[in-house]
Amino acid sequence: MSNLHKVFAEQGQSPWLDNIRRSWISGGELEDWVRRGVRGLTSNPSIFQKAIQGSADYDDEFREAISAGLDVEASYWKLVVSDIEAALAILRPVYDESDGLDGYVSVEVDPGLARDSIATEAEARLLHERIDEPNVYIKIPATAEGLDPIRIMISEGRSVNVTLIFSLDRYAEVMEAYIAGLEAAEGDLSRISSVASFFISRLDVEVDRRLSEIGSPEALELRGRAAVASGQLAYAAYLETFSGPRWEALLQRGARPQRPLWASTSTKDPSYPDTLYVDTLIGPGTVNTLPDQTLEAFEDHGTVARTVDADIEGARSIMARLAFLGVDIDDVTQTLESEGVAAFEKSFVELIGALDEKAKGLT
């Protein structure tokens, strides 16, 4: 049994693929990933920028869309929706076999709307209705302005992937938005699903930078430890939140917990093990979405064992030691949120600009 199959069968964690390419869909690679144990797929504006600008796979459909009178941005969404719908069809058997636990494909709203609650809500609803498949996740950024759209989408029975979570405080607000949305929803809740995408490796990048600036032996000893500790504390918060009388009342109506999804799990520092953010965050009721290179690494030499809650007190100690050294985690996570939103928006704007230039060449 492969590690991807084992981590689900033995530990209850769902491995997902954090990438999409049209050639993978047409050439059978995505189906092969599913056979190997991948149980879902995530995308984002940066992934689509690389896919669309990095190949000629989309040129014919883009030319047809422009020739049909669509503007550049509408043509972009046509390309994206085509890929998402094809991926949804490939993952649909996983969705059916798992009774809606897995088999999801995520597509993100325009990242330029991340600070606009009303526009995010409207676009999320429009995108969900346009695709209209039970295994689609609409991705909404976990900015302060994204919390109301998350709650409202859930209350309307629409499944959501909440993305760009960096802080434990914001994660608590995301879980509250999900639960409040379920409480406002009508009838059976069993077909409403959500994951909360907690970003991992980027936390180490920023914390490590600050620790290196401090430069003391105590600071340098903590490099590469903040992200895993934060994820492990997020899992403890998940277990606490999805228990007790309030949650039990929703369970009676068929509600599903909002699973934590570990995102940004490829290592950015080449001195760290390439499966660092996989091996250390394995546990039941979780998802880990991995770039294809990290999936291959985990298949080859990853370790399948329950680790996410093996040492919660140790995780708390690491965060306390960081604070003692002067690393302001609140400032770190706010910086990362701002950078994450800006990076996705930059990818979107650059891709639209590139497509606009390509469209001019067609006329």
What is the rounded distance in angstroms from the CA atom of residue 77 to the CA atom of residue 326? 44
Place of tokens 């929706």: 81
Contact between residue 150 and residue 174 where contact means Cβ atoms under 8 Å apart: yes
Three-state secondary-structure class, residue 318: helix
DSSP 39-89: --B---HHHHHHHHHT-STTHHHHHHHHHTT--HHHHHHHHHHHHHHHHHH
Q: Are 45 and 343 contacting, i.e. CB atoms less than 8 angstroms apart?
A: no
Catalytic residues: 139
Please state, in angstroms and rounded to a whole number, the distance separating the CA atoms of residues 240 and 165. Answer: 18
Cα–Cα distance for residue pair 158/135, rounded to 1 Å: 10
Going along 71-176, which residue ranges are E strands?
105-108, 136-141, 160-165
Would you say 185 and 159 are in contact if contact means Cβ atoms under 8 Å apart?
Answer: no
Number of other CB atoms surrounding residue 46 within 10 Å: 17
> Do residues 112 and 120 lie in contact, with contact meaning Cβ atoms separated by under 8 Å?
no
What is the spatial distance between Cα 249 and Cα 320, in angstroms, rounded to a whole number?
35
Measure the CA–CA gap between 305 and 290, rounded to whole angstroms. Answer: 17
Task: Read off φ and ψ for residue 362, nearest 5 degrees.
Answer: -90, -15
Measured CA to CA, the distance from residue 67 to residue 61 in angstroms comes to: 10
